[in-house]
Amino acid sequence: MLQAIKYNQGNLEVLDQLQLPFVEKYIPIRTAKDGWNAIKDMKVRGAPAIAIVAMLALASELHTLQSAEKIPASSEETRALIAKKLEYLVTSRPTAVNLADAAQKLGAVATAQAEQSGATGQSVVSAFIRGAEEMMGKDLEDNQRIGHHGAEWIMANATKPDVSDVAVLTHCNTGSLATSGYGTALGVIRSLVSKNVLRHAYCSETRPYNQGSRLTAFELVHDKIPATLITDSMAAALLADPKAGVNAIVVGADRVAANGDTANKIGTYSLAVLAKYHGVKFLVAAPRTTIDLATKSGNEIVIEQRPAAEMTNIKGPRAGAPAVDGNVALETVSIAAPGINVWNPSFDVTPAALIDGIITEVGVVEKGSDGLFHMEVLFNGAAPQ
């Protein structure tokens, strides 16, 4: 399986996604600052992956401090140190709630440990590190469950009359590269493959950063899944084409509000509008760590603006450059008129009204008889299905 994140007892490495699919290079992340930079620069991206890397980056820094015997003796001082680093890590990218959620949960773990009688700086650090390490395994398990629930839902609701004739369009990258493994929306595609019902996957290029053509296409080719790349502007024509026979669009999410409005990669909203027009099911796949009940609707979601250069420049292999260790030298070229103004929001918000189901690790949430999503059912013990 492709691995965006490699971690072993304080040694963290991430696959540099700025260089994919041309160069496969892991870079070490030793401190919270290294993690912040890798997330901000999008060397690692995808809502679950940035949360995991941020927490493991801090875990790695704490491991180093431990080895150097530099952990403060006082549990309170150590808790405050961890809280400060978490606050800093959360500022790296604002839209995906997974990062804030992880920081809040692990901050609470450190606080709970610090309040134990006899707590020491060491015991607070150990509790934090354990929590951060557990997150990675939990994310993989959640993704496998999301894949299963999503595939079952599609087979039951989107493929009549022939359940073994599934064609899915996905957007951005939600796979092993965006998570600790398997993926969310791409996990649903993987699960459809394992159930032997996927006829074809389509992935959109996902301008401007090309997570689709660079990363999802890379994963689909790697797994030998029958797949075709389209530009974002071809989606309407694809859905209108009976030969393509797309039954469902499945995307990931960076933040799902309490009413089901969903922030995800820019272009997601356009696909949802197209799906409604063409009568194609539109599904969001995300772990519960992406559901933000504190955000009532999409209007409250902060949308990150990315630098103009990520739209006006593209990176590719330098023509004629010799490969070193199987990797080629990359160069950046400009593809826009110098001087043009640029608007580059990284995400958009798809209104809940356009979404047929939200696939989570505990089941698929559909709208109630009032026509609205009630995302709180995911947290009050009531099974969504």
Would you tell me which residues interact with ligand MRU (CB under 6 A)? 45-48, 96, 172, 174, 178-179, 184, 211, 252-254, 264-265, 346
Q: Could you tell me the smallest distance in angstroms from the CB atom of residue 25 to ligand MRU?
A: 18
Q: Could you tell me the smallest distance in angstroms from the CB atom of residue 193 to ligand MRU?
A: 18
Cα–Cα–Cα angle for 280, 177, 95, nearest 5°? 70
The residues with which 263 forms a beta bridge, in sequence order, are 255, 349
> Would you say 47 or 109 has its CB closer to ligand MRU?
47
Q: Could you tell me the smallest distance in angstroms from the CB atom of residue 169 to ligand MRU?
A: 13
Nearest to ligand MRU by Cβ — which residue?
A: 252
SS (HEC) of the chain: CCCCEEEECCEEEEECCCCCCCCCCEEEECCHHHHHHHHHCCCCCCHHHHHHHHHHHHHHHHHHHHHCCCCCCCHHHHHHHHHHHHHHHHCCCCCCHHHHHHHHHHHHHHHHHHCCCCCCHHHHHHHHHHHHHHHHHHHHHHHHHHHHHHHHHHHHHCCCCCCCCEEEEECCCCCHHHCCCCCCHHHHHHHHHHCCCEEEEEEECCCCCCHHHHHHHHHHHHCCCCEEEECHHHHHHHHHCCCCCCCEEEECCCEEECCCCEEEECCHHHHHHHHHHHCCEEEEECCHHHEECCCCCHHHCCCCECCCHHHHEEEEECCCCCCECCECCEEEEECCCCCCCCCCECEEEECHHHCCEEEECCEEECCCCCCCCCHHHHCCCCCCC
Catalytic residue among 254, 261, 348, 356: 254
CB 311 within 8 A of CB 100: no
> Would you say 110 or 257 has its CB closer to ligand MRU?
257
> Would you say 81 or 256 has its CB closer to ligand MRU?
256
In the annotation, is 142 catalytic?
A: no
Q: Could you tell me the smallest distance in angstroms from the CB atom of residue 121 to ligand MRU?
A: 34
> Would you say 60 or 346 has its CB closer to ligand MRU?
346
Q: Could you tell me the smallest distance in angstroms from the CB atom of residue 126 to ligand MRU?
A: 29
Q: Could you tell me the smallest distance in angstroms from the CB atom of residue 252 to ligand MRU?
A: 3
Active site positions, annotated: 254
